[in-house]
């Protein structure tokens, strides 16, 4: 019955208006959040706990929920408290599943039971306050529902209003729950040069954990999950997904509990965690985003891509109000061509060639600063190397500008080599335990960014670099994980705050730099894709998914990447063949088409390209720019996945207004004469007419040049019969008439 949902009675008169997406039924104490195609419902149960009731497809406005009832005791071994899916459960009262919050009080008490106190509207969302049944520990749960995508943003603020300090041993951003059933868990794991491998496994009893204990996001697992009802399917079925916005150590635990229900809990990694909250202090958790789609993993990633584009990624001052972030300039990066061997003449020669190809941004990578001849020295000394650049960076930057490009620079500001002036001056600035060895990785140590003096040093160094030079772009690298994470400025009991304060200071530096230099764009790189998450994506415009630029390997890395992240941020360079990693030889066109699936860059030694290669590159860069908006910001359909040694792979991206589609097709290695499968396209307007034009390769001779969306989707697009062999690629565009 319409109108059953009473608008929440608000205590204070000056409260902001209740957001349209939240309704509170005062009689049943049920909260309902609606956005996009999604509803999310929870209520205060009869014991006073906040209990999750529903997460899934959008319900009718007339649908109501009765008051939340705690789950019954199953047996003397599984009581009601552990069986009840709480929005944010304290560890206490017979809880055996993963708690959201675990606290040790100064008197040794470790029991925490959180009950509802109040709720309130804020400018950008909605909050529910919980409190321990006895002690003055308050938890404010924040909810924000994106009206278009139905993606829910959840986080918590924990507050000590007592008179004694407490230690937080575990703090999740949020816990999610799904009813008992059979589900498939999708996660992304990997390693350096092999990031973003999609894993799919049934959710069995017990816990499946993905995490980083490394101080940063990590290559080994990415803080994203997708859970599908039944078996995994690209195009069909219900999918619940989540992404944690945190670039420090994190953990996501997926449990199938004693009653077969699913719980997902994620936030700060509790391993080695211990955050002391003094009286009147607060700890804010990261945000855990969660969403839902009905049309398989493909549908889930399309929702998430659009959400990232529209709601997460930063804008520069030039497009501050734009619905979408600026398309990424086609860039050239010198790393694979020169490695550390950069100098003025060499970079100028590369810049000339890059400009002639149609490149928009020229980026000088590692090697330009301090005594940086190789990776043994220089990190920390951010002055221009006088032997390599006797006149500073200005002549090179002026030349790049004169060629019509903007200029970008590589930095790795959180690190230091032992062989550096910075380390010699401030050996205490690195993460370390007094008197213990300092473990070097790539000959470098991690600066303790949690220290205010280190934070100021990094901010001021970069601010100066950006003020003194006309730099449009920073590639911000981070080439090792933590070890010996000591912070001996603080009393021993408080030193573990490094896990929180380091990442917060990183975010504050990025945010302050963007404020002071609003036209500067930033790429998050960590030896490839080691720091990609929705936390850093609020401050950076793009990421480097992997140091592995082998165009065949990239197909799988890119496939995995796009389950969680939009192709807009997925930088992809065309590099030299044979490739340094796998020694594989591929054609330039194949390399281009692989990279054109994301935001295109060139990373080859282009001074060595033949006239034919130069012409191919020019043609494909120009063709890319015509369809870049569709590829980077459209709806992605993974038509054939390259996973599991597939002979073939294919993607299609459709512009939001369905006016254009771009199709890529790749052959790994033709076997037994098999032809490329017919590609049944997706997402077109069935009634509209689309004109097919090849970007590279040919369609079968009998393919119509113009046909309806229905034809391309139902009949399909057939490749030329000669599209066979090893490492072959084709690409097409379809434009609505
Ligand atoms: C990391 C990056 C590379 C390159 C090198 C430079 O490995 O991921 O792209 O910048 O550092 O040392």
- Per-residue pLDDT for 317 more than 80? no
Q: Give the Cα separation of 155 and 143 in Å (integer).
A: 7
Q: How far apart are the first and last CA of the chain?
A: 46
In whole angstroms, how far apart are CA 561 and each of 58, 74, 191, 222, 310? 28, 41, 13, 10, 18
Phi/psi for 347 (5° steps) reads: -70, -35
DSSP state of 534: T
pLDDT (0 to 100) of residue 123 = 76
Q: Is the minimum distance from the CB of 479 to ligand 1 under 6 angstroms? A: yes
Write out the residue limits of the CATH 2.60.40.1180 domain(s) in the chain.
Answer: 639-736
Listed in sequence order, the residues at least 6 apart from 183 whose beta carbon sits closer than 8 Å to its beta carbon are 202, 203, 227, 228, 229, 230, 256, 262
* Tokens at 428, concatenated: 């205490």
So what's the pLDDT on residue 124? Answer: 75
Across the chain, which distance is largest between two alpha carbons, in Å? Answer: 81
Cβ(477) to ligand 1 under 6 A? Answer: yes
CA dihedral 198, 203, 204, 205 (to 10 degrees): 120
Across residues 406-429, what is the average pLDDT? 98
Q: What pLDDT shows up at residue 606?
A: 98
What average pLDDT does this structure show over 720-730? 97
| Residue 350 phi, psi dihedral angles, 5° rounding | -65, -40
Which DSSP category does 39 fall into? E
Task: Judge: domain 16-312, CATH 3.40.50.300.
Answer: no
For the cut 90, the answer to whether the pLDDT of residue 5 exceeds it is no
Domain 326-413+453-479+508-632, CATH number (from 3.20.20.70, 2.30.30.790, 3.40.50.2300, 3.40.50.970): 3.20.20.70
| Ligand 1 atom, smallest distance to 544 CA | 8
Which atom of ligand 1 has the smallest separation from the CA of 547?
A: 8
Average pLDDT over residues 41-59: 98
Residue 235 CA, ligand 1 centroid: distance in Å: 36
Which are the catalytic amino acids?
477, 547
Pocket test for ligand 1, best of 524, 527, 548, 581 (most atoms within 8 A of CB): 527
Q: Would you say the CB of residue 406 lies under 6 angstroms from ligand 1? A: no
Residues with Cβ within 8 Å of 35's Cβ and at least 6 positions away in sequence, in order, are 21, 145, 146, 147, 148, 149, 150, 151, 152
Task: Tell me the DSSP string of 580-605.
Answer: TTT-----HHHHHHHHTTSEEEE-S-
Q: How far apart are the C-alpha atoms of 252 and 239, rounded to whole Å?
A: 17
How do residues 264-275 score in pLDDT, each as one tens digit? 999 999 999 999
**Band (1; pLDDT cuts 50, 70, 90):** very low
Domain 639-736 indexed as CATH 3.20.20.210: no
CB 528 less than 6 A from any atom of ligand 1 = yes
Handedness of CA 710, 715, 717, 720 (dihedral sign): negative
Q: Which residues make beta-bridge pairs with 129?
A: 118, 140
The per-type count for the chain, helices as H runs and strands as E runs, is 12, 36
Q: Output the residue whose Cα is nearest ligand 1's atom 12.
A: 366
Average pLDDT for 167-183? 98
pLDDT band per the 50, 70, 90 thresholds, residue 17: low
Location of each CATH 3.20.20.70 domain in the chain: 326-413+453-479+508-632
Which residue from 601, 542, 597, 570 is spatially nearest to 313, judged by alpha carbons?
542
| pLDDT over threshold 60, residue 128 | yes
* Ligand 1 atom with the shortest distance to the CA of 475: 10
Q: What is residue 121's predicted lDDT score, i.e. its pLDDT?
A: 86
Indicate whether 10 pLDDT > 70: no
148-165 tens-digit pLDDT: 999 999 999 999 999 999
User: Mean pLDDT throughout 183-192?
Assistant: 98
CA distance 162 to 653: 55
Kindly give, in sequence order, each residue whose CB lies less than 8 Å from that of residue 105, ignoring residues fewer than 6 positions away: 135, 164, 166
Distance CA 179, CA 252 (A): 18
Which pLDDT does position 402 carry in this prediction?
98
546 Cα: distance to centroid of ligand 1 (angstroms): 10
Q: Is the CB of 525 under 6 A from ligand 1?
A: yes
Computed over every residue of the chain, the mean pLDDT equals 96
Q: What is the distance, to the nearest Å, from the Cα of residue 503 to the centroid of all Cα atoms in its chain? A: 15
Give the pLDDT mean for 708-723: 98
Q: pLDDT tens across 520-560, in order?
A: 999 999 999 999 999 999 999 999 999 999 999 999 999 99
Find, among 647, 616, 615, 619, the residue nearest to 726 by Cα.
Answer: 647
- Tell whether ligand 1 has an atom less than 6 A from the beta carbon of residue 523: no
Confidence class for position 232, pLDDT limits 50, 70, 90: confident
Which of 153, 127, 143, 146 has the alpha carbon at shortest distance from 288? 153
Contact 337 CB / ligand 1 (< 6 Å):
no
Tell me the mean pLDDT in the region 8-30: 68
């Amino acid at each position: 019955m319409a109108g059953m949902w009473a608008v929440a009675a608000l205590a204070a008169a000056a409260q902001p208006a209740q957001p349209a997406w939240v309704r509170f039924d005062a009689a049943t104490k049920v909260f309902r959040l609606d956005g996009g195609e999604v509803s999310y419902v929870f209520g205060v149960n009869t014991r006073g706990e906040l209990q999750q009731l529903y997460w899934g497809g959008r319900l009718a406005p007339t649908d109501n929920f009765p008051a939340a009832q705690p789950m019954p005791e199953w047996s003397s071994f599984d009581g009601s408290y552990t069986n009840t899916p709480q929005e944010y459960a304290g560890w206490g009262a017979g809880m055996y599943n993963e708690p959201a919050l675990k606290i040790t009080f100064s008197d040794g008490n470790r029991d925490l039971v959180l009950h509802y106190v109040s709720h309130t509207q804020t400018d950008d969302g909605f909050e529910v306050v919980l409190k321990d049944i006895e002690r003055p520990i308050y938890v404010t749960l924040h909810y924000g529902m994106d009206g278009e995508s139905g993606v829910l943003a959840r986080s918590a603020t924990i507050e000590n209003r007592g008179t004694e300090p407490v230690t937080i041993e575990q703090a999740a951003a949020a816990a999610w729950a799904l009813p008992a059933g059979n589900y498939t868990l999708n996660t992304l794991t990997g390693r350096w040069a092999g990031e973003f491998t999609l894993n799919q496994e049934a959710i069995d009893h017990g816990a499946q954990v993905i995490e980083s204990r490394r101080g940063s996001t990590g290559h080994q697992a990415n803080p994203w999950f997708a859970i599908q009802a039944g078996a995994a399917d690209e195009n069909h079925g219900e999918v619940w997904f989540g992404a944690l916005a945190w670039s420090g150590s994190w953990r996501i635990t997926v449990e199938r509990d004693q009653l077969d229900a699913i719980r997902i809990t994620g936030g700060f990694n509790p391993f080695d965690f211990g955050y002391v909250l003094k009286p009147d202090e607060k700890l804010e958790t990261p945000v855990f985003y969660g969403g839902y789609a009905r049309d398989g993993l493909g549908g889930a990633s399309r929702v998430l891509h659009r959400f990232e584009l529209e709601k997460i990624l930063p804008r520069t001052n030039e497009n501050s109000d734009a619905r979408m972030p600026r398309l990424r300039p086609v860039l050239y990066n010198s790393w694979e061509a020169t490695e550390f061997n950069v100098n003025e003449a060499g970079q100028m020669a590369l810049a000339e060639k890059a400009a002639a190809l149609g490149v928009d941004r020229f980026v000088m990578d590692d090697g330009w600063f301090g005594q940086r001849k190789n990776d043994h020295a220089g990190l920390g000394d951010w002055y221009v190397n006088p032997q390599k650049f006797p006149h500073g960076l200005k002549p090179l930057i002026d030349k790049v500008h004169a060629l019509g490009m903007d200029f970008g620079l590589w930095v790795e500001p959180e690190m230091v080599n032992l062989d550096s002036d910075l380390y010699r001056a401030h050996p205490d600035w690195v993460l370390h335990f007094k008197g213990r060895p300092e473990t070097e990785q790539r000959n470098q140590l991690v600066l303790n960014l949690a220290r205010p003096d280190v934070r100021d040093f990094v901010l001021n160094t970069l601010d100066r670099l950006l003020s003194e030079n006309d730099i449009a772009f920073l590639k911000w690298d981070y080439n090792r994980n933590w070890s010996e994470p000591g912070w001996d400025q603080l009393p021993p009991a408080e030193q573990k705050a490094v896990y929180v304060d380091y990442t917060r200071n990183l975010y504050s530096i990025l945010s302050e730099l963007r404020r002071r230099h609003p036209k500067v764009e930033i790429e998050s790189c960590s030896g490839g894709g080691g720091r990609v998450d929705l936390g850093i994506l609020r401050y950076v415009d793009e990421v480097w998914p992997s140091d592995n630029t082998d165009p065949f390997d990239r197909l799988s890395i890119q496939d995995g990447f796009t389950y969680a992240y939009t192709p807009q941020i997925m930088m992809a360079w065309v590099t030299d063949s044979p490739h340094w990693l796998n020694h594989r030889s591929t054609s330039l066109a194949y390399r281009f088409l692989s990279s054109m699936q994301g935001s295109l860059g060139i990373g080859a030694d282009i001074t060595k390209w033949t006239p034919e290669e130069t012409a191919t590159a020019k043609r494909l860069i120009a063709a890319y720019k015509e369809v870049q908006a569709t590829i980077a910001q459209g709806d992605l359909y993974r038509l054939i996945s390259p996973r599991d040694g597939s002979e073939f792979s294919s993607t299609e991206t459709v512009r939001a207004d369905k006016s254009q589609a771009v199709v890529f097709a790749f052959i790994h290695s033709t076997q037994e004469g098999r032809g490329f499968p017919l590609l049944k396209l997706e997402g077109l307007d069935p009634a509209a007419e689309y004109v097919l034009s090849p970007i590279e390769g040919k369609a079968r001779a009998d393919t119509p040049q113009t046909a309806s969306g229905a034809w391309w989707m139902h009949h399909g697009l057939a490749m030329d019969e000669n599209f066979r062999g090893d490492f072959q690629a084709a690409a097409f565009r379809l434009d609505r008439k």
